[in-house]
Amino acid sequence: MGLLQTYKCNCCAYSALTGGGQQVGMRSVRWTIRCHQCADLIDVLVSEDPWNLPENWTPEGYSCPEGKDHRVELWSESTGCPKCGGSMKLDEAAEYVLWD
């Protein structure tokens, strides 16, 4: 089951409800990406076969839903804010969403 949580930047007002990296559900795998053109964090579908992936699998061929030519990278909390590059931290007081 996947979990979406709010991450907030310590330097600017940016926040995002996102999985914060790899999220595995019963029928799909989603991963958080950073789009440099949109300056946003986006969870994208990277596999519809979560049961047959190697243990340390890393997706390839993912793209921004706003433009396939946008420069994107896999995101983790240590990557930083897509708007200003500041530190992003999990907002533990915010509500979360379980998905499957």
How many C-beta neighbours within 10 Å does residue 12 have?
12
Where do the domains of the chain lie? Answer: 2-99
pLDDT tens-place string over residues 4-50:
999 999 999 899 999 999 999 999 999 999 999 999 999 999 999 99
Nearest CA to 57 out of 82, 79, 31 is that of 31
pLDDT tens-place string over residues 54-99:
988 999 999 999 999 999 999 988 889 999 999 999 998 888 888 8
Q: What is the pTM of this model?
A: 0.90
Task: Give 20's contacts (C-beta < 8 A, 6+ positions apart).
Answer: 5, 7, 32, 75, 76, 77, 90
Task: Give 92's contacts (C-beta < 8 A, 6+ positions apart).
Answer: none
